[in-house]
Amino acid sequence: MAVAIGRAFAIQPCFSSSLCSLSENINKSSFAAYTFLPAKPRNIRCTPVVVHAQQRPTWLPGLDPPPYLDGTLAGDFGFDPLGLGEDPESLKWYVQAELVHARFAMAGVAGILFTDLLRVTGITKLPVWYEAGAVKFEFASTRTLIIVQLLLMGFVETKRYMDFISPGSQAKEGSFFGLESALEGLEPGYPGGPLLNPLGLARDIKNAHDWKLKEIKNGRLAMVAMLGIFVQAAITHTGPIDNLVEHLSNPWHKTIVQTLANFSSYSK
């Protein structure tokens, strides 16, 4: 039908230029539609699409880490839900803060477990760890101990902060009572030297990524363990070794579930 209409328009005289143009267009389109001619070969270009898998692990699989956490930091798994590290200067400070808290947690957990083990086995008569601060010592009063601790900790923390502000400044001659060579001042947070790195495991601190990763992983685990010890002491009012012994005596009925259930019923 389209061909017939096209032909009809082609036979009729053209009364106006617009009508002639219309008939011409219909003629061409109709013949083009119903003429089966071999199509011209077209060059089809295939663009390969490569899907890159995630190059590094993240704290939540499949989650894209923020751009400022590019994996260069030790223990960087892209975890920053609050966006605290968006500012580069703040990120440097948070890295140092986490490192110091991790080291204190590792020392704290080791000290609590060791002294609690000595107490439970009866080797020495030591107070449980959360009551150790109330013990009176004969060689010094509590006030003296607090003042000495504030002075020593204040001095060390001030030196650490100065090294953070000006890296390497605390390793200069005369900045630490002549003990600068014993610290070496590798980089902020890693003073090194025979005092703090006696085994020489990370002398080349720039290429010690594996050691840094192991330290921060153990430190994070220790912080979680320290939190668990705090909660455990608040609920059970005993030390971690006592809790472990009680659990091993009846593993199926002395668990965290029963402990929390008894605590909730007791608090009511």
Are residues 65 and 58 in contact, defined by beta-carbon separation less than 8 angstroms?
yes
Query: Is 209 one of the annotated binding-site residues?
Result: no
Q: Contact, 171 vs 184, CB < 8 A?
A: yes
Known binding residue 217? Answer is: no
How many residues does the structure list for the chain? 268
- Binding site annotation covers 218? yes
197 annotated as ligand-binding: no
Q: Which two tokens stand for residue 203?
A: 């002398």
CA nearest to 228, candidates 97, 131, 112, 149: 112
Does the annotation list 232 as a binding residue? yes
List the beta bridge partners of residue 187. Answer: 190
Task: Specify the 3-state DSSP secondary structure of 190.
Answer: strand
89 is in an annotated binding site: no
Q: How far apart are CA 125 and CA 127, in angstroms?
A: 7
- Backbone Cα Rg of the chain: 38
237: left (phi over 0), alpha (psi -120 to 50) or beta: left
The answer to the question of whether 52 is labelled as a binding residue is: no
- Greatest CA separation for the chain: 127
Tell whether residue 220 is among the known ligand binding residues. Answer: yes
Q: Which of 64, 68, 67 is CA-nearest to residue 52?
A: 64
User: Does the annotation flag 195 for ligand binding?
Assistant: no
Q: Are 184 and 43 in contact (CB under 8 A)?
A: no
The annotated binding site for chlorophyll a is made up of 98, 101, 214-215, 218, 220, 232, 247
The annotated binding site is made up of 98, 101, 103, 183, 214-215, 218, 220, 232, 247, 263
The annotated binding site for chlorophyll b is made up of 103, 183, 263
